[in-house]
Structure 1
Amino acid sequence: MAVRKKGLGKGLDSLIPNTRSTQGKKEDGKKPEEKEEKMPGEQLVKITKVEPNREQPRKHFDEDSLMELEDSIRQFGVLQPLLVRKNKDYYEIIAGERRWRAAKRAGLKEVPVIVKDFSEQEILEIGLIENIQRENLNPIEEAMAYKKLIEEFHLKQDEVAERVSKSRTVVTNSMRLLKLDEKVQQMIIDEMLTTGHARALLSLENKEDQQILANRIFDEKLSVRDVEKLIKEWKNPKKKKEIIKEKHAFLYEDLEEKMKSVMGTKVSIHSKSSGKGKIEIEYYSEEELEHVFYKIMSIKRGEES
């Protein structure tokens, strides 16, 4: 019987050391008690010879966090070596891209690395595990990494779950987020929506509906419970029509205010269900009518020029 390959989740610490004694201050801000010691297999290489892995799950790096790490590296150097593999004439980062980015910004010429030889699948697994353990991935990046392990390396969901030390339910729920409209996914990446909001939106099959409600969640700062209630109403055709009408009314009110500020008098928009309508501009004297006329003409001349 073939021996089943174990996941890397629980053994990751042996590949990526999490502690290193040194004089001064650690990257996490704590003071060590011992003098600096090199990790087994650690070596210094030119930073220009190190490049990130284009396939690594993490695509977004928090600017404030990078600046803090950059300041720490300027003072105390890179305290934890990067895990890399040799790739032709350069070293490809397996784990530690954030440290590499901060070191470049800090102007370092060399960085400490530990060179290991891994397969493409192992590299993806390690990158995914490291970022999950350190909570560096946004929900969409995590879901995309799970999907890649399944599609490119033909793993099953329970095998992926085993490798990253997560339950199968967590992996399944994570991947479901990829069924959302791409614009909604971007809102999750930009932290405009929480995963709770996102899961609620999954009950809507129409992606245009997902977009409309996602924007409303952000604009009105709705809670997850508010969204769940709203979706129940949304699925009711009569309620849905009322919600759209409310949305249009809000839009018209905003347009009326903007036109009022331009014209200098009250403006009313009267819309019909067909999409047609009319705009009323009020005036209270002949002088005000003349002012409105010249205002419209000046706008027209500005467009023609």
Structure 2
Amino acid sequence: MYRIKNMDVKITILQVEVANLRPNPWNTNSVGAQNFEKLKGSIEKLGFFKPILARELDGGIFEILGGEHRWRAAMEQGISTVPVISVGKINDLVAKQMFLVDNERYGEDDQVALQRLIEEIQSEIDYRLPETAAGASPSHVS
């Protein structure tokens, strides 16, 4: 367990039913059909080895912070449970920051939506852009 912004963050690894996962409403990343098919093929060949990053909501529901495309691929392939790294119950601001830093580039960002997300994070905290997007690829912050 560690603390971020006066919150205890407890990391746990769980097997979660895909029906209990929800996409977050601020995901700026999309993936084309060809790359989505490649992702499904990878899961079919190698299994679902990379856990989804999620925060816990009420009622046993988890909100995806990283891995929405893998979750969608798992559902299409009839996989009933997936590994999840849960960061517990964290607030929206920390969840958005984790999403931004964790979100790997399997698809392409909607640049307008991404800019809005970064501005929203910056308006809530006193961070400069390089600190807000620490760990994000250069294409995230250009």
Same fold (TM over 0.5): yes
Change (3 A) 1:87 1:139: same
TM-score by length of 2: 0.74
Identical columns (%): 25
Residue of structure 1 aligned with 2:55, choices 69, 72, 85: 85
Matched, 1:162 2:131: yes
- For structure 1, list consecutive stretches of 5 or more residues without a partner in the other structure: 6-39, 175-305
CA distance in 1, matches of 2:79, 2:18: 7
Residues 47-62 of structure 1 mapped to structure 2, 5 A cutoff: 47-58=18-29, 60-62=30-32
CA contact (8 A) 2:122 2:132 kept: no
Matched, 1:64 2:34: yes
CA contact (8 A) 2:26 2:117 kept: no
Residue of structure 2 aligned with 1:74, choices 44, 47, 59: 44
- What SS class does the counterpart of residue 75 from structure 1 fall into? helix
CA contact (8 A) 1:95 1:127 kept: yes
> Which has the larger share of helix?
1
Match of residue 96 from structure 2: 124
TM-score by length of 1: 0.37
Higher RCO (CA 8 Å, separation ≥ 6 residues): 2
Residues 119-268 of structure 1 mapped to structure 2, 5 A cutoff: 119-131=91-103, 134=105, 136-151=108-123, 153-156=124-127, 158=128, 160-165=129-134, 171=141, 174=142
> Which has the larger share of strand?
2
Show CA shifts across 1:212-264 (max 9, x none). xxxxxxxxxxxxxxxxxxxxxxxxxxxxxxxxxxxxxxxxxxxxxxxxxxxxx
CA contact (8 A) 1:57 1:124 kept: no
RMSD value over aligned CA atoms?
A: 2.5
Which stretches of structure 1, 4 residues or longer, exceed 6 Å deviation after superposition?
Answer: none
Count how many residue pairs are aligned between Structure 1 and Structure 2: 126
Show CA shifts across 1:149-206 (max 9, x none). 134x1445x2x3213137xxx95xx5xxxxxxxxxxxxxxxxxxxxxxxxxxxxxxxx
CA distance in 2, matches of 1:78, 1:113: 11
